[in-house]
Amino acid sequence: METKVKSKALQEFQEATETIVNPELKKWIDQGGKVMGYFCSYGPEEVITAAGVLPIRMRAIGSTSTELADAYLSNINCSFCRHCFNMGLQGDYDFLEGVVWLNNCDHVRRIYDNWIRKVNTPFTQMMSLPKLTTEVQVEWFRDELTILKEALEKHLGVTITDEKLREAIKLHNQTRRLLRQLYELRKKDNPPITGAEALAVVVASTAMPRDKFNQMLKELLEELSDAEGIKDYRARLMIVGSILDDPAFIKVIEEQGGLVITDSLCFGSRIVWNEVDEGANDPLAAMARYYIQDKPACPRMFDTQQKRSKFVIDMIKEFKVDGVIGERMIFCDLWTGEHFMLGSDLKEEGVPFMKLDREYIMAGVGQLRTRAQAFLESIRG
């Protein structure tokens, strides 16, 4: 199952998901550009962009082992964190000028604790991300953004003005708007793009210069607008879960006939669905409100479970979803509880729901294929 369009832009987006240093990122580095990694979809990429540095989302694609990291992290730490730290210890992230963390979960926090001691990265910063979403937490996170801004200015020898912040906000909002247009195309009865291909596009948006990405996505949207849609599928599926940056996972599901037409993922709809207020007098305050209140939350935010379920259920209706797959990284405490509560809500709605646990690196493909086949049979039944 694949799009009927032979698109150069789509091919480049897919290539960008397959390596840490993709061709566009390499061009940026070769031209003297600096790169800064950030963990978690709550990473304030606009502040990094305003500093004249390219923000990229930390991933561990291409990793084959956690042998080095296992000397510092427990085997009950999630495999995404262990693979990321292992690549740091191997020197795979040596091209980074810095890394920004948030205390989004204990597993990621353990990477930071060890990284600052064992990996020689010029700039490192840990941000405090609140667990509630009231006005108090918005003000708190604005202070955290100010601390990051000042630390970047000192390290890089630059001045991050409000005007630069507004320009960065506009650039990243444009990415969000274009990606929502891609999701709109997936609402069609015969979508012109598969779920695996759409995931590659979203992942690429976090891994290459945004102006270049936006230009290429405009080209892809134009190519897809009149493209022949996909008809040979058995059910319309939605994936809900944590970090999923490997299109191969979705491709296995789609090879069984289930077309993934939407998601609630941190490499997916949750980073594109809303925007930062471009007209705000205080751009840092606007960013704080976006990340704490406006962006669709993940389970680390303790007062948003009902909103998260409503977000999923509304999307089910909007995209005409037949069944939902809950994807969880093994040992992820947050998503264990979330899928339990979401499962109860979906049962009340009469929506089929299947939970899948996985490691970061693709394994057990046969089992995934069997589970997907059984789920699709149950939907058809």
239 with 216: CB under 8 angstroms?
Answer: no
What residues are paired with 57 via a beta bridge?
Answer: 38
Return the closest-CA partner of residue 130 out of 290, 276, 292, 270.
Answer: 292
In the numeric block, the tokens 């693709």 are attached to 362
Q: Which two tokens stand for residue 316?
A: 């089910």
214 with 301: CB under 8 angstroms?
Answer: no
Alpha-carbon torsion angle 164, 169, 172, 175, nearest 10: -120
Q: Is the pLDDT of residue 143 over 90?
A: yes
Query: d(Cα 234, Cα 322) in Å, to the nearest integer?
Result: 10
Q: Which two tokens stand for residue 129?
A: 């991300």
pLDDT tens-place string over residues 8-22: 999 999 999 999 999
Q: Is the pLDDT of residue 348 over 70?
A: yes
Helices (H), 31-161: 45-50, 79-90, 106-118, 135-156
Q: Is the pLDDT of residue 356 over 80?
A: yes
Q: What is the largest CA-CA distance in the chain?
A: 63
Percent of the chain at pLDDT exceeding 90 = 91
DSSP H/E element including 355: strand 353-358
Measured in residues, the chain has a length of: 381
**pLDDT band, very low/low/confident/very high, at 2 (cuts 50, 70, 90):** confident
pLDDT of residue 237: 98
pLDDT of residue 1: 66
Q: Is the pLDDT of residue 137 over 70?
A: yes
CB half-sphere exposure, 103, CA atoms < 13 A: 9
pLDDT of residue 363: 80
The residues near 221 (Cβ < 8 Å, ≥ 6 apart) are: 178, 181, 182, 185
pLDDT of residue 290: 98
pLDDT tens-place string over residues 89-99: 999 999 999 99
pLDDT of residue 262: 98
Mean pLDDT of 58-77: 93
In sequence order, what DSSP letters do the residues of 126-170 get, joined into one string? EE---SS-SHHHHHHHHHHHHHHHHHHHHHHT----HHHHHHHHH
Q: Give the C-alpha distances (Å, rounded to integers) separating 271 from 9, 22, 180, 343.
A: 21, 21, 10, 23
| Amino acid letter, residue 378 | S
Mean pLDDT of 100-110: 92
Q: Is the pLDDT of residue 381 over 70?
A: no
Q: Is the pLDDT of residue 67 over 90?
A: yes
pLDDT tens-place string over residues 199-242: 999 999 999 999 999 999 999 999 999 888 999 899 999 999 98
**pLDDT band, very low/low/confident/very high, at 380 (cuts 50, 70, 90):** confident
pLDDT of residue 204: 97
Q: CATH 3.40.50.11890: does it fit domain 33-151?
A: yes
Q: Give the C-alpha distances (Å, rounded to integers) separating 152 from 120, 185, 257, 278, 281.
A: 17, 39, 48, 22, 22
pLDDT of residue 277: 97
pLDDT of residue 6: 81
Q: Is the pLDDT of residue 161 over 70?
A: yes
Averaged pLDDT score across all residues of the chain: 95
pLDDT of residue 75: 86
